[in-house]
Amino acid sequence: MTAGRDSAVGEQASVAPEKAAKGVKRAGSGGGGGASVASGKKAAVTRKAAATRKGAGAGTAAGAAKPVKAAAAKGAAGAGAAGAAKPVKKAVGKAESRTALVRRARRINRELAEVYPYAHPELDFENPFQLLVATVLSAQTTDLRVNQTTPALFARYPTPEDLAAADPEAVEELIRPTGFFRAKTKSIMGLAAALRDEYGGEVPGRLEDLVKLPGVGRKTAFVVMGNAFGRPGITVDTHFGRLVRRWKWTEETDPDKVEKAVGELFPKSDWTMLSHRVIFHGRRICHARRPACGACPIAPLCPAYGEGETDPEKARKLLKYEKGGFPGQRLKPPQSYLDAGGIPAPPLGATAPPPATGE
């Protein structure tokens, strides 16, 4: 609105002085005296020149105001990206300052907290040992497939001692659905033996101890620390890395460098839940191949808006899990997830229920 008024004022300023100058010129001509005429003409020329300069200045101001008005319109359209017919990309300048980046990143986290108040680790587990094994098995497969596989595994080998003493071929057969089952069998039996021999059958809660276990890297260690022991950590999986690069939080691709760069944008106390929210968003809305930009609640804050489907109706059809009315990845999800409309995943071999209607 301010830009519109400035433009109107500029236009009036460029026209009104010209009319005033003409009026003075006519008045001078009607005075009868040669000196008066000359004086009137001189005054008119002087005032007209001044008016021209003033009009040019006002015109420049009006021209500068127009982009501001356009930017405001874009912001208004972007703010309603989730429901507007044609949401507009909210651009983030290439020269975004460090302070601006931190503010935008933390605002995205707050927005995601409202969208996913039930965010949680999507692996079923009842104790640190189960979470550790499930996280190792989740490499190169979905959490859903792991959750459908681990019930039989943990029923047969409930403790590290049991798994360490198991027949490798029997373990391979149980975890075959997760893929790379031979390598994974070696890892989980190796970590089980290490827990038995070095930690009294208990999972350690320190990063430096966890990463020494077979098949356990920093990502797995932070999953266990954050969700089994309540110690903050950032989980950099494929979803997390993809989204933080889309949001221009970092350009790094190495998981350890991503972890460090993102960790510097947030207080340590936010790390674990930030990881859950970003991963939830990546699985449900901000997909790798076709993001549902038109249904994204943080579109106004996203530099990558427009890479995916921007039409709201078409975008809503791309939503997954509870956002699209489909089952989630856990067979036993938290109650908060169920209260939000989430549907438990079916067990291995069972038929998934159809998507909920009315979404």
Q: Looking at the annotation, which residues are catalytic?
A: 219, 237
Question: Could you identify the residue written with the tokens 């075959």?
Answer: 176
Distance CA 11, CA 56 (A): 9
Distance of CA 85 to the CA centre of its chain: 21
* DSSP per-residue codes, 69-120: HHHHHHHHHHHTTTT-SS-------TT--HHHHHHHHHHHHHHHHHH-TT--
Q: Are 304 and 310 in contact (CB under 8 A)?
A: no
Residue 106 CB partners (closer than 8 Å, separation 6+): 265, 266
Q: Which amino acid is at 177?
A: P
Cα angle, residue 60 at apex, residues 55 and 62 outer, rounded to 5°? 95
Note the maximum CA span of the chain: 121
Chain position carrying tokens 């008024």: 5
Q: Which residues contact 197 (CB under 8 A, 6 or more apart)?
A: none
